[in-house]
């Protein structure tokens, strides 16, 4: 089974991070490493030109929606 290109990118970032695998350290250290790695592993946030909060009618009341206009 082929690996999704986005997941392949995440795996490559993990491998290049230099951090030890989580299973080789204790739970407390693994949590610390995970918290430090979140920003490193996250893809860049796209710039947003405009944000509009909207609502659509639902059977139990309005359903909140958000429209993002990318630059």
The pLDDT of residue 9 is: 85
* Residue 14, domain extent: 5-41
Residue 10 lies in a domain: yes
Instruction: Give the pLDDT band of residue 58 (cuts 50, 70, 90).
Output: very high
Does residue 44 register a pLDDT over 80? no
Domain count for the chain: 1
Higher-confidence residue of 64 and 1: namely 64
Residue with token string 């790695």: 37
Among 63, 56, 57, 19, smallest CA distance to 41 is for: 19
Residue 54 lies in a domain: no
Residue 24 lies in a domain: yes
Residue 70 lies in a domain: no
Residue 9 lies in a domain: yes
Residue 20 lies in a domain: yes
Does residue 43 register a pLDDT over 80? no
The full 3-state SS of the chain, as one line of letters, equals CCCCHHHHHHHHHHHHCCCCCHHHCCHHHHHHHHHHHHHHHCCCCCCEEEEEEEEECCCCCCEEEEEEEEC
pTM over 0.75? The answer is: no
- The distance between the two most distant Cα atoms of the chain, rounded to a whole number of Å, is 51
What is the average pLDDT value for the chain, to the nearest integer? 89
């Amino acid at each position: 089974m082929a690996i999704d290109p986005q997941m392949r990118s995440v795996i490559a970032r993990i491998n290049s991070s230099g951090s030890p695998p989580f299973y080789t350290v204790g739970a407390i250290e693994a949590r610390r490493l995970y918290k430090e790695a979140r920003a490193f592993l996250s893809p860049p946030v796209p710039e947003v030109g405009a944000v509009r909060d909207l609502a659509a009618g639902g059977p139990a009341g309005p359903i909140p929606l958000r429209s993002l206009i990318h630059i």
